[in-house]
Amino acid sequence: GENVEQHPSTLSVQEGDSAVIKCTYSDSASNYFPWYKQELGKRPQLIIDIRSNVGEKKDQRIAVTLNKTAKHFSLHITETQPEDSAVYFCAAWDSGYTSGSARQLTFGSGTQLTVLP
């Protein structure tokens, strides 16, 4: 099935700096890539997503880029704030057509982002 790799596993930045989290996926048929933010003990919260017909999407301080050729996508957070500290998960939609596995969102292993005041 789909394999999603996420880097780095931990990331510390100073408040006000930018943070970048990168993910790669294996199934070229994947066409939907959401990002979730999960604070400790809470639900994953959808923060932004991108579909394969666009290369970049922005929402205030958050942006996501997608390179279909290279099969990687990235989350960019600018002007980081302490409340951005959380675990961030990328995911890719596996349609199952090429992988033969169940149609599902396959998640990366997560990035613990810490924003230092």
Residues that bind other proteins in the complex, under the rule CB under 8 A:
30-32, 34, 36, 42-46, 49, 51, 89, 91, 93-96, 101-110
Report the residue number, 41 or 117, with the smaller CB distance to other proteins: 41
Residue owning tokens 């890539």: 33
Q: How far is the CB of 41 from other proteins (least distance, A)?
A: 8
Residue 76 near residue 18 (C-beta atoms within 8 A)? yes
Report the residue number, 81 or 101, with the smaller CB distance to other proteins: 101
Report the residue number, 80 or 91, with the smaller CB distance to other proteins: 91
**Tokens at 75, concatenated:** 């989350």
Q: Is 31 left (phi over 0), alpha (psi -120 to 50) or beta?
A: alpha
